[in-house]
């Protein structure tokens, strides 16, 4: 069980770092992944689009649905063909989410859902349904930081002992092999040298 916890904490730490880097990047580069599914059966037309975006510190997930009866000879919206398509898009600037969308806000989350009815060529009527939620990336970072925090909280002495055994400064982790009496990085004094401190830590267990 302990090994499983250690593995989960390590994976969660990597996800935390990746989330924070993606959050910083999202203010300069916007990315979008889109999956579109179109089904045409006689006069029945249905299209669904699943869209995920990383932009301006948010992960924006949305679903767009279009359904209704159309004349087979009519021009379909956006000339969609029957089948499934996917698109990956990357822009040089952050996408304007969520400020450009009139969405509801609660505890830093933004969301909205609405439906409209529109007519296209030959009098066909289609219903458009749109739902979106914008999740702040700080929230995702907080979730992924839970296990690493618990690991460090439960193992404060283990990190200290590991650094001592590897001749590293217990404060900043700097390599002390070339300067065993004092850390040149943070200035922490090492009484008796690294080896003596490491031997004492292994003997006392702390």
What value does the mean pLDDT of the chain take? 75
Q: pTM score, two decimals?
A: 0.60
Burial of 185 (0-12, 13-18, 19+ CB in 10 A): middle
CB 87 within 8 A of CB 34: yes
The total of other beta-carbon atoms located within 10 Å of residue 169's CB is 21
Identify the bridge partners of residue 128 per DSSP, sorted by sequence position: 66, 116
Torsion on CA atoms 112, 84, 128, 96, rounded to nearest 10: 40
pLDDT band of residue 197 (cuts 50, 70, 90) is: very low
Helices (H), the chain: 2-25, 137-154, 156-165, 193-204
Exposure of 153 in the CB half-sphere (CA atoms within 13 A): 7
Upper half-sphere CA count for residue 12 (Cβ side, 13 Å):
19
CA-to-CA separations, 134 to 23, 74, 107, 140, in angstroms, rounded = 13, 35, 11, 12
Given a cut of 80, whether residue 57 has pLDDT beyond it is yes
Ramachandran category for residue 128: left, alpha or beta (phi over 0 → left; psi -120 to 50 → alpha): beta
For the stretch 62-88, pLDDT in tens is 888 888 776 655 545 444 555 556 666
Find the angle CA(138)-CA(144)-CA(145) to the nearest 5 degrees: 85
- Whether the pLDDT of residue 198 is over 90: the answer is no
* pLDDT confidence tier of residue 98, bands split at 50, 70 and 90: very low
The pLDDT assigned to 172 comes to: 82
139 versus 99: the higher-pLDDT residue is 139
């Amino acid at each position: 069980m302990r090994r499983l916890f250690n593995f989960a904490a390590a994976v969660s730490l990597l996800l935390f770092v990746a989330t924070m880097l993606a959050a910083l990047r999202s203010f300069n580069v916007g990315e979008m992944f889109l999956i579109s599914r179109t089904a045409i059966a006689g006069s029945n037309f249905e299209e669904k689009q699943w869209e995920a975006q990383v932009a301006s510190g948010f992960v924006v997930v949305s679903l767009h649905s279009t359904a209704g009866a159309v004349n087979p000879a009519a021009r379909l919206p956006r000339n969609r063909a029957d089948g499934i398509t996917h698109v990956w898009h990357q822009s040089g600037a952050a996408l304007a989410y969520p400020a450009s969308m009139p969405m509801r806000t609660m505890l830093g989350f933004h969301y909205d859902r609405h439906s409209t009815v529109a007519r296209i060529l030959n009098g066909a009527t289609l219903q458009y349904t749109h739902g979106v939620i914008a999740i702040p990336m700080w929230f995702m970072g907080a979730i992924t930081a839970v296990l690493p925090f618990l690991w460090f909280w439960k193992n404060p002495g283990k990190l200290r002992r590991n650094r001592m055994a590897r001749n590293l400064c217990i404060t900043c982790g700097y390599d002390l092999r070339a300067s065993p009496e004092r850390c040149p990085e943070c200035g922490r004094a090492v009484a008796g040298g690294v080896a003596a401190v490491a031997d004492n830590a292994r003997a006392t267990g702390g």
